[in-house]
Amino acid sequence: MSGVREDPREGLREEPPAATVGQGTGSGLLAGKRLLITGVLSDNSIAFHVARIAQQEGARVVLTSFGRALPITEAMAERLPAPAPVLRLDVTEPGDLDALPEQVAQHLGGLDGIVHSIAFAPSTALGGAFLDTPWQDAATALEVSAYSLKALVTACLPVLREGASVVGLDFDAALAWPGYDWMGVSKAALESVTRYLALYLGERRIRVNLVAAGLVRTLAARSIPGVERMEEIWRTRPPLAWDVHDPEPTAKACATLLSDWLPATTGEILHVDGGLHAVMT
């Protein structure tokens, strides 16, 4: 995968096309914003609720997916307030990344924001097998879950306007969680990638931040061995009551970061976890 491409938007439209597919309400916190959102795999995923709230707050949205997940994402796109286009994107495939700017331009004309909700680790990299995980599997987790943020953002630079906002979904990597293993390492890498992107994209006034969510019972969370133990922690220990079945608080935080209300915030990790990260209980 190449680094930052020579830009300069040649051949890509600056103004949104007239089509209203994926159109939001036209008013609200995100009125007029054009957003690319990854990771919509079910209607209880955080990314789905980010897309829903974004449309309700006036944004236009495109989703991404690939392979066996593509028809699932397409079905979820129909459940949004306005049906959204779904673009093919495997973040580990250079061809998909190269084709992304033109696809975005066709639907939206450009981008004001990106939501990175992409993570994967092979089963051998989870569940307490940390000491035995082969490099190939650890490398897969790191590439898909951390490096992909850099790959996605740099691919989108030709259509990403100055002042845009990039938001990634995180699970606080300050602690080692039993069973989370190489996914935890990947989240730590994601946090570092975010800081470096914030450093190098600041001159373009592009903000890059993470939302560190408390445990939400998504498809991804259910794949973590021993997640029931983690759920019990989130049910009983945060100072604010935390509902592991409610992705909306996290989605609202993402919407806020995508808006213009935090124009000087970048390289930040916003915790939406009921306050658990801040207390010893």
Give 122's DSSP letter: -
Dist CA 175 CA 245 (whole Å): 23
CA atoms lying within 13 Å on the CB side of residue 265: 17
**Mind telling me the catalytic residues?**
180, 187
Question: How large a percentage of the chain has pLDDT more than 90?
Answer: 78
pLDDT of residue 178: 87
pLDDT for 38: 98
> Does the pLDDT of residue 219 top 90, yes or no?
no
Q: Which fold has domain 34-278?
A: Rossmann fold (3.40.50)
In the predicted structure, residue 1 carries a pLDDT above the cut 60:
no
24 token code pair: 């939001």
Note whether 203 and 157 are within 8 A (CB).
no
pLDDT of the residue at 236: 87
The pLDDT-based confidence of 228 (bands split at 50, 70, 90) is confident
71 contacts: CB under 8 Å, gap ≥ 6: none
pLDDT of residue 77: 98
In sequence order, the 6+-apart residues with CB closer than 8 A to the CB of 67 are 90
Q: Name which of 41-50, 73-82, 211-220 the model is least confident about.
A: 211-220
**Closest C-alpha to 244, from 233, 235, 252:** 235
Strand pairing category for 86-88 and 160-170: unpaired
Residue 7 clears pLDDT 50, i.e. is over it: no
Q: What is the mean pLDDT of residues 24-40?
A: 89
Q: What pLDDT, on the 0 to 100 scale, is given for residue 231? A: 81
Domain extents in the chain: 34-278
Over range 150-162, report the average pLDDT.
98
pLDDT of 256 over the 90 cut: yes
Type of residue at 214: G
Q: What is the DSSP letter of 174?
A: T
Amino acid at 16: P
Residue located via tokens 């914030």: 198
110 compared with 245, residue with greater pLDDT = 110
Distance CA 239, CA 243 (A): 12
Average pLDDT over residues 181-207: 98
Q: Among the listed ranges 97-106, 137-146, 199-208, 230-239, which one has the minimum average pLDDT value?
A: 230-239
Locate 67 and state its tokens: 């392979």
- Report the alpha-carbon distance of residue 125 to residue 141 in Å, rounded: 8
* 230: enclosing H helix or E strand: helix 227-236
pLDDT score of 235: 85
pLDDT, tens digit (0-9, with 9 covering 90-100), for 33-71 = 999 999 999 999 999 999 999 999 999 999 999 999 999
Average pLDDT over residues 209-223: 82
Instruction: Give the Å distances, CA to CA, from 84 to 24, 59, 76, 81, 203.
Output: 10, 11, 9, 9, 31
How confident is residue 222, by pLDDT bands cut at 50, 70 and 90? low
Q: How far apart are CA 149 and CA 155, in angstroms?
A: 10
**Is residue 5 within 8 Å of residue 158, measured between CB atoms?**
yes
Average pLDDT, rounded, for the chain: 89
Strand runs labelled E in 70-119: 86-88, 111-116
| pLDDT band (50, 70, 90) for residue 84 | very high
- Check pLDDT > 50 for residue 186: yes
Which residues neighbour 239 within 8 Å (Cβ) at sequence distance 6 or greater? Answer: 274, 275, 276, 278, 279
pLDDT at 76 over 80: yes
Distance from C-alpha of 219 to C-alpha of 224, rounded to nearest angstrom: 9
Spatial distance between the Cα atoms of 107 and 35, rounded to a whole number of angstroms = 11
pLDDT at res. 9: 31
Q: Which two tokens stand for residue 183?
A: 């996914």
Query: How confident is the model over 106-144, as pLDDT tens digits?
Result: 999 999 999 999 999 999 999 999 999 999 999 999 999
